[in-house]
Structure 1
Amino acid sequence: MKSWTKYINDYQSYLKIERGLSDNSVTNYLFDVKRLVAYIEENEIDVSPKKITEETIQQFIYHIAETLNPRSRARLISGLKSFFSYIVFEGYREDNPLALIEVPKIGRKLPDTLSTDEIDMLIGSIDLSAKNKQGHRNKAILETLYSCGLRVSELTELKISDLFFDEGFIKVTGKGNKQRFVPIDNLTQKYITIYKDEVRVLQPIQKGYEDTLFLNRRGKSLTRAMIFTIIKNLAKQAELNKTISPHTFRHSFATHLLENGADLRSIQLMLGHESITTTEIYMHMDRKFLKNIIDNYHPRR
């Protein structure tokens, strides 16, 4: 619908340029708005973002609610609220039609984690023989995900120039192109160095990827999907009966740090969370651990 195209394109530019969101995040934000537009077109409702009413949006939400779980509905409403907040911000209208629409209450989903034994078992299942040319790369990838708590996009975008091994850090570019330095242990440095100096140097590298650390067989950067596939295949190979993803290593990183006495603020900085509230989810991970804290440190115990 032409009356929506300009607003959506402007909103897309705002998300990318002013808010600095990644392409994946921008796509997710626009997806919610485009679903609303599809509903309007399908029902032949002639209305622009400046004139659409709360009633029309409420009808759309009721229409689509049956196909969505509470978490997806909450994300949909949040995405639309963000779009219309931008419309208000730009002065196209005076009110946000979703201001009084409540977001469904959802329980906080606790992330899945792996034990240290399970992580050792996964990494130990990697074939490092000469016939498996990607073995050392995959081992370095898993060690980096776990020891540094990286998002999968942060891993795929990691550069050789981001490695500051003499200082014991790597430079990570996170959401919104915000950079942070994360400590990296000597063992993980060793596995990255083996891959970089003994394996990576032997393969052809495509122009523009000379500084990219982890490469695929064609000499280009790995995709998110490829990292998921590597981990899925290793879990199957190790007979680990859990559904895991690259993010599982990030959650395990944070949980194990907390269990071993690290403070939330330090974990927040290493994970690159903007708000401590996001990091606090890990306080719910192991109630036995929290009970031990009380038993060991409270003066009345």
Structure 2
Amino acid sequence: MNWSGFLKNYKSYLKIERGLSDNTIENYGFDILRLVDYLERHGIEISPVKIDEETLQQFIYAVSREVNARSQARIISGLRSFFTWLIFEDYRTDNPLELIETPKIGRKLPDTLSLDEIDALIAAIDLGSPEGERNRAMLETLYGCGLRVSELVSLKISDLFFDEGFLKVTGKGNKQRFVPIGPTTQKFIDIYRSQIRSHLAIKKGHEDTLFLNRRGSGLTRAMVFTIIRTLAEKIGLHKTISPHTFRHSFATHLLENGADLRSIQLMLGHESITTTEIYVHLDRKHLTQIVHAYHPRK
């Protein structure tokens, strides 16, 4: 089997057995194709089963001259996963990247917004336009529920369980979780649904989609980015923000007000709590207060 055959089977494994999104699978595949391109350019004819640590080390050295440390680390991680799969499928008995070190990179802390900044962004929305009520409901949902932008635009009316106080959210890899939704966010969604959405000519296939554009179709992720950045410019906010900034702010504000990491992990839909732990680094003052309040040797 050649590289393309192995790559095709590997992608099937990532989709069917690991449930990864199409974008993530393509990123994994791109890392492998980058290696294949390197081998072809240097006239190296070797299969995934036979390739050795020395050849991979030469490839990584070449890559290090083209990309930053963070991208290099991602490529190594992607290839390591591919060779682990080969071992799992009994094509290899070793992982040639096992002893290859990943470059050390600083942990990038996410940008956050203060509550005043969030209030200012929402207050800047023009509620005189039909899109205004929708935009307010969307921003309240991003911040109030900590959703990813992909989760927001795919949210359905049938996912709203307001009587129980939850949203059903479909996250990465089609994994579903229930996220609490507060009365404030519920109120703005209800206003949008009753005053704006109910008067739209909804296109076929979008009858259950919650947030719609003026043509009655679902919104794109890019449109949500544009809405948020336009509001930031309007209030003179000198931060580079995106829909994800509201998600980071949701988690950070919960942590600062005493929520535990495990609960935040469940609400964000993080597979590993290590991902959630990044928020611990945001507020050292908060950690000091925790020790002083709860440690017996305070």
Correspondence 1:196 to 2:193: yes
Gap regions ≥5 residues in structure 1: none
Residue 215 of structure 1: aligned partner: 212
Correspondence 1:287 to 2:293: no
Structure 1 residue 63 displacement after superposition: 0.7
SS at match of 1:134: helix
Q: How do 1:68-107 and structure 2 match up within 5 A?
A: 68-107=67-106
For residues 149-169 of structure 1, what are the alpha-carbon distances to aligned partners after superposition, in whole Å with 9 as ceiling and x for unaligned?
111111111110000011111
Residue 232 of structure 2: aligned partner: 235
Q: Scaled by the length of structure 2, what TM-score is found? A: 0.95
Q: Tell me, in whole angstroms, the C-alpha distance in 1 between the residues paired with 2:285 and 2:140.
A: 27
Q: Scaled by the length of structure 1, what TM-score is found? A: 0.94
For residues 51-90 of structure 1, what are the alpha-carbon distances to aligned partners after superposition, in whole Å with 9 as ceiling and x for unaligned?
2222221111111102222211111100011111112211
Q: Tell me, in whole angstroms, the C-alpha distance in 1 between the residues paired with 2:7 and 2:179.
A: 37
Q: Tell me, in whole angstroms, the C-alpha distance in 1 between the residues paired with 2:285 and 2:13.
A: 45
> Equivalent pairs: percent with the same residue?
69
Q: How do 1:16-55 and structure 2 match up within 5 A?
A: 16-55=15-54
Structure 1 residue 276 displacement after superposition: 2.1
Q: Tell me, in whole angstroms, the C-alpha distance in 2 between the residues paired with 1:128 and 1:92.
A: 60
Residue 126 of structure 2: aligned partner: 127
Gap regions ≥5 residues in structure 2: none
For residues 192-227 of structure 1, what are the alpha-carbon distances to aligned partners after superposition, in whole Å with 9 as ceiling and x for unaligned?
111122211222222222111112233222222222
Q: Which amino acid aligns with 2:42?
A: N
Q: Which amino acid aligns with 1:254?
A: A
Q: Tell me, in whole angstroms, the C-alpha distance in 1 between the residues paired with 2:264 and 2:186.
A: 20
Q: Which amino acid aligns with 1:199?
A: I
Residue 3 of structure 1: aligned partner: 2
Q: Which amino acid aligns with 1:82?
A: S
Q: CA RMSD in A?
A: 1.5
Q: 1:82 to 1:201 in 2, by over 3 A?
A: same
Residue 58 of structure 2: aligned partner: 59
1:141 corresponds to which of 113, 117, 138 = 138
Structure 1 residue 296 displacement after superposition: 3.0
SS at match of 1:142: helix
Q: Tell me, in whole angstroms, the C-alpha distance in 2 between the residues paired with 1:12 and 1:29.
A: 8
SS at match of 2:168: strand
Q: Tell me, in whole angstroms, the C-alpha distance in 1 between the residues paired with 2:88 and 2:235.
A: 52
Q: Tell me, in whole angstroms, the C-alpha distance in 1 between the residues paired with 2:86 and 2:216.
A: 43
Q: Which amino acid aligns with 1:226?
A: M
Correspondence 1:277 to 2:268: no
Residue 150 of structure 1: aligned partner: 147
Structure 1 residue 185 displacement after superposition: 0.8
Q: How do 1:240-259 and structure 2 match up within 5 A?
A: 240-259=237-256
Q: Which amino acid aligns with 1:294?
A: V
Q: 1:218 to 1:34 in 2, by over 3 A?
A: farther
Q: Tell me, in whole angstroms, the C-alpha distance in 2 between the residues paired with 1:216 and 1:40.
A: 47
Which structure 1 residue ranges, 4+ long, deviate > 6 Å from structure 2?
none
SS at match of 2:201: coil
Residue 182 of structure 2: aligned partner: 185
SS at match of 2:76: helix
